[in-house]
Amino acid sequence: MPGLAGQILNYRGVKIVTGRDYSVLLFLYNTGARADEAARLTAGDLSLGRSCSVRLVGKADKIRDCPLWPQTAEVLKALIRNRAASESVFLNRLGQPLTRFGIYNLVRRAVAQATLTLPLLSQKRISPHCVRHTCAVHLLRSGVDINTIRAWLGHVSLDTTNIYAEVDLEMKAKALERCDMPDKVSVKRWRKGHNLISFLKTL
């Protein structure tokens, strides 16, 4: 699991956060869901059968479906065991639905914990929306087309999603600048091959 989200979730293959916090972060990274979308999630929104997916209710109550990794599905299965379809997926320590503010605090705690082994994280301002951005950029780099990413994130306008493409092109341009091009390129002079010319004339 590369990138910022991977750094928060794992360090050298070891989980930095576990339990409920891990399931929230993994869900955010897998789906690119907004904090309020994750907070509103109920057990009935999850389809954890043969083909695992989640129904997300976004802005203006717009509904979209998002596929889930088997790893995410297994974590969520354990989390919602014996819960009614109307019950929230993510609960706080009092057993009440986790709010979007609770999710923001959860991410801050995870970042603070990850900073102990990854000090560079202290220089970044990380929120649940950063995990959403990471999801989008990783989808783009994996070859997913921009229109699919738009539907994945629940963007109304493709212009919003195109920001990720522009960011990625900027990173590629910076990488290109690091490539050295020789000032002079040696070009061998072409010599006439009499045997070749004679052969071509016979065609």
Q: For residue 25, what is the enclosing H or E element?
A: helix 19-31
Question: What does residue 88 show for φ and ψ, rounded to 5 degrees?
Answer: -70, 150
Q: What is the DSSP string of 47-109?
A: E-SSS-EEEEE-GGG-EEEEE--HHHHHHHHHHSTT--TTSBSSB-TTSSBPPHHHHHHHHHH
| Tokens (6 digits) for 139 | 């989808």
The dihedral over CA atoms of 160, 136, 4, 112, expressed in degrees to the nearest 10, equals: 60
Going edge to edge, which strands form the sheet with 46-47? 46-47, 53-57, 63-67
Q: What share of the chain is helix, strand, coil (3-state, %, to 5)?
A: 55, 10, 35
Active site residues: 34, 59, 129, 132, 155, 164
